[in-house]
Amino acid sequence: MDQYPDVTVNWKLHERPVLHVYDAQGLEVKTVDLSQFDHEKLHVLFSAHFRREDVDPPGILVRTWRRLFGWAYGISTLESTLLFVFSGCVLALGCYTICFRYTQCCDAISDL
């Protein structure tokens, strides 16, 4: 949606995506069910109704963050939850290794 600055997105969990097009006076002109649109068809539809700006792709941290929470990639809630839990486990294991195992290694080296 970064490419379409005039578009406001209101995410509603477990509801079909619908595009509401309003005129300058705020009256609804058109409603379109977006559930059957793929990526290309969405761009064609949005380009017909809204101005488009070229934007740089998001950085690796933003893409990773979005991927973990399933934003803008269409992955299931289960998959995003599993990725989030797995990432948390990896982070916890890394912290444990750095904090506790490193101390034990240093103590063992100093005992030599």
Average pLDDT of span 9-31: 83
Residue with tokens 């002109």: 29
What is the pLDDT, as a whole number, of residue 106?
74
CA angle 41, 43, 17 (to 5 degrees): 70
What string of H, E and C letters represents the secondary structure of 74-94? CCCHHHHHHHHHHHHHHHHHH
* Per-residue pLDDT, 39: 80
Report the helix count and the strand count for the chain, using DSSP H and E: 4, 2
Residues above pLDDT 90, as percent of the chain: 4
Instruction: Report d(CA 89, CA 71) in Å as an integer.
Output: 21
pLDDT in tens, 21-75: 888 888 988 888 988 888 888 888 888 878 888 777 778 887 777 776 655 556 6
**Domain edges within the chain:** 1-55, 58-112
